[in-house]
Amino acid sequence: MSTVDPDAPPIPSIDVPGGALTPLADAQLNVELDTGDMILNLGPQHPATHGTLRLVVRLDGERVVSAEPVIGYMHRGYEKLTEFRTYPQVTTLVNRIDWLSSFANEVPFVGAAEELMGIEAPPRAQYIRTILTELSRISNIYLFLGEMALQLGALTPAFYGFRDRELVLNLIEAVTGGRFHPNFNRIGGLKDDLPWGWIADTKQVMKKILDGCDDFEDLVVGNEIFQARTKSVGIIPGPLGASYGVSGANLRASGVDWDLRRDGKPYLVYPELEFKVWTHPDGDSFARYWVRLQETREACLLVLQMLERLPSGPVMAKVPRIIKVPEGEAWVETENPLGQMGYYVISKGATGPFRTKIRSASFSNVSILPWLLQGVYVPDVITVLASLYFILGDIDR
């Protein structure tokens, strides 16, 4: 710039991205190649999207410019269906929202109905309900522990996850008769009592699961490649996550210390139990995996605790044969494995609900994806999807 002749005609220049006005000759070398964005459709059939989720991703090279989830491929219209069912029939429907931990879906609905009726299930039923909820939590999150590693390329942990999960599913089947859709809750208690020998079996299985969690800690959490793939990927700041409605382990991994079992309205027998709520300050994918691993261990310890304290007694309160829930509204929310699940039941005194609003965890967890996926690489999209851990039935209801 030192030899500029003030009388010479101005050199033609163009405005280059970045703001500087560059002389044309240089500009031809400096302008970034403006390649068009590529639109990539992840799904609805795709191994990484856990079901029929479609992610329309706009890519610039390997970076995501914008991502939009398209949901509804599995929308079954549960809220409409509940208006045409009696209360006991709704538990069958509701099982299938989050199908990996089905028992846990029934609990808040039955709780809402019982609250409106003013009935309390007997203590033994409450304990067994809590045990089964924690077992379904283990079965759900244990699958996640293996399957997130699978999304990242490690083939083996997935099989370990499935193998040990079979033990838990066998336990649930022994009690309820169904591995995946137990349909075991009744308004006022449970359908049946525990089978003989179940408590001893469960203690053994819990010890096995605890060993399995140690395996995962070594194989996956301690693996440098896993850490390199997940640390600092997909960071959700705590307050932003809360305003999106992200809940459960996802929010706790961002440092927000909030667990409905301890902090919400008291439900089941959690007020009588001692357990630790795990949080992690980072909020990245690694944190979410780590928190869930600790929660699995905590769930095993909870089950062992409850088995020690299991009271005897009936498992069903006295309820009329035809269940008519008095007029009213009830909102019951529980800490489900995927997050917070709640039912807002509006009853008009009939045998079935007038309106049920089902608040499912994954719906809110997935709503943060457009914000979360900006600027990440394509492999990181998979990591983020895997770590948020949603179930399509939970999103689409």
Partner 1 sequence: MADETEATDAPAAETAAAVDAPAGPAPDPLVADVLARLEAELGDSIVESAECFGDAVVRVRPDAWRRAAEVAKDTLACDFLSFISAIDWMPAPKEGGDDASGDTSSPVQPTETTYGVAGSNGRFQVFAHVESTSKHWGITFKTDVDESDPHARSWVTVYPGADWHERECWEMFGIAFDDHPNLRHLYLPSLFEGHPLRKDFPLLARVVKPWPGLVDVEAMPGEEGDAEGGGE
Partner 2 sequence: MSAVHLAVDAGWGWTLAVKVVVVMALIPLGALILGYTFLLKMMSHMQSRLGPMEAGPHGVLQLVMDGLKFIQKEDITPVEADKRVFAIAPMIVVISTFLIFVVIPAGPKVAVQNLDVGVFYALAVSSLSVIGVLMAGWASANKFALLGALRAAGQLIAYELPLLLAVVGVVIQAGTMNLQGIVAAQANGEIFGWGGIGNPFVITQFVGFLLFMVAAQAELSQTPFDMPVAESELVAGYMVEYTGFRFLFFFIGEFGTAFAYAALAATLFLGGWAIPNVDLANGWMNVVGPLVLFAKLMFVAFLIFWARFTYPRLREDQLQAVAWKFLIPIALANIVLTGILKVAL
Instruction: List residues near partner 1 by CB under 8 A.
Output: 71-72, 75, 77, 79-81, 83-86, 115-120, 239-240, 242-247, 251, 256-258, 263-266, 326-331, 333, 340, 342, 344, 346, 348-352, 354-355, 357, 359, 363-364, 367-368, 371, 396
Of the candidates 226, 267, 289, 389, which one interacts with partner 2 according to CB under 8 A? 226
Of the candidates 26, 27, 30, 48, which one interacts with partner 2 according to CB under 8 A? 48
Instruction: Output the smallest distance, CB 159 to partner 1, in A.
Output: 35
Residue 330 β-bridge partners:
345
Indicate which of partner 2, partner 1, none lies near residue 340 (CB less than 5 to 8 Å, by partner kind): partner 1
Are residues 261 and 335 in contact, defined by beta-carbon separation less than 8 angstroms?
yes
Instruction: Output the smallest distance, CB 295 to partner 1, in A.
Output: 17
Is 38 or 70 the residue whose CB approaches partner 2 more closely? 38
Are residues 101 and 107 in contact, defined by beta-carbon separation less than 8 angstroms?
no
Structure tokens at 360: 């499912």
Of the candidates 27, 154, 240, 310, which one interacts with partner 2 according to CB under 8 A? 154
Kindly calculate the radius of gyration of the chain based on its CA atoms and give it in whole angstroms.
Answer: 26
Are residues 384 and 43 in contact, defined by beta-carbon separation less than 8 angstroms?
no
Instruction: Output the smallest distance, CB 361 to partner 2, in A.
Output: 23
H/E element holding 183? none
CA neighbor of 136 nearest in space, from 162, 99, 164: 99
Instruction: Output the smallest distance, CB 213 to partner 1, in A.
Output: 27
Indicate which of partner 2, partner 1, none lies near residue 328 (CB less than 5 to 8 Å, by partner kind): partner 1
Instruction: Output the smallest distance, CB 165 to partner 2, in A.
Output: 13
Three-class SS of residue 89? Answer: helix
Structure tokens at 246: 């992200």
Instruction: Output the smallest distance, CB 282 to partner 2, in A.
Output: 18
Indicate which of partner 2, partner 1, none lies near residue 163 (CB less than 5 to 8 Å, by partner kind): partner 2
Instruction: Output the smallest distance, CB 349 to partner 1, in A.
Output: 7
> Angle, nearest 10°, between helix axes 87-94 and 102-117?
160
Structure tokens at 129: 């309900």
Indicate which of partner 1, partner 2, none lies near residue 313 (CB less than 5 to 8 Å, by partner kind): none
Instruction: Output the smallest distance, CB 364 to partner 2, in A.
Output: 25
DSSP assignment letter at 218: I
What is the rounded CA–CA span in Å between residue 354 and residue 327? 10
* Burial grade of 5 (CB within 10 A; 0-12, 13-18, 19 or more): exposed
Structure tokens at 339: 């997050």
CA neighbor of 311 nearest in space, from 57, 90, 159, 129: 129
Is 162 or 363 the residue whose CB approaches partner 1 more closely? 363
What is the rounded CA–CA span in Å between residue 190 and residue 185? 5
Indicate which of partner 2, partner 1, none lies near residue 380 (CB less than 5 to 8 Å, by partner kind): partner 2
Is 113 or 233 the residue whose CB approaches partner 2 more closely? 233
- CB neighbours of 139 closer than 8 A, spacing ≥ 6? 100, 101, 165, 168, 169, 172
- Considering only residues 22 through 41, tell me which ones interact with partner 2, judged by CB under 8 A: 38, 40
Indicate which of partner 2, partner 1, none lies near residue 173 (CB less than 5 to 8 Å, by partner kind): none
Is residue 236 involved in binding partner 2 (CB under 8 A)?
Answer: no
Amino acid at the residue 246: V
Buried b (16+ CB within 10 A) or exposed e, 7-16: eeeeeeeeee
The site for partner 2 (CB under 8 A) is made up of: 38, 40, 46-48, 62, 149-156, 159-160, 163, 219-220, 223, 225-226, 228-229, 377-380, 382
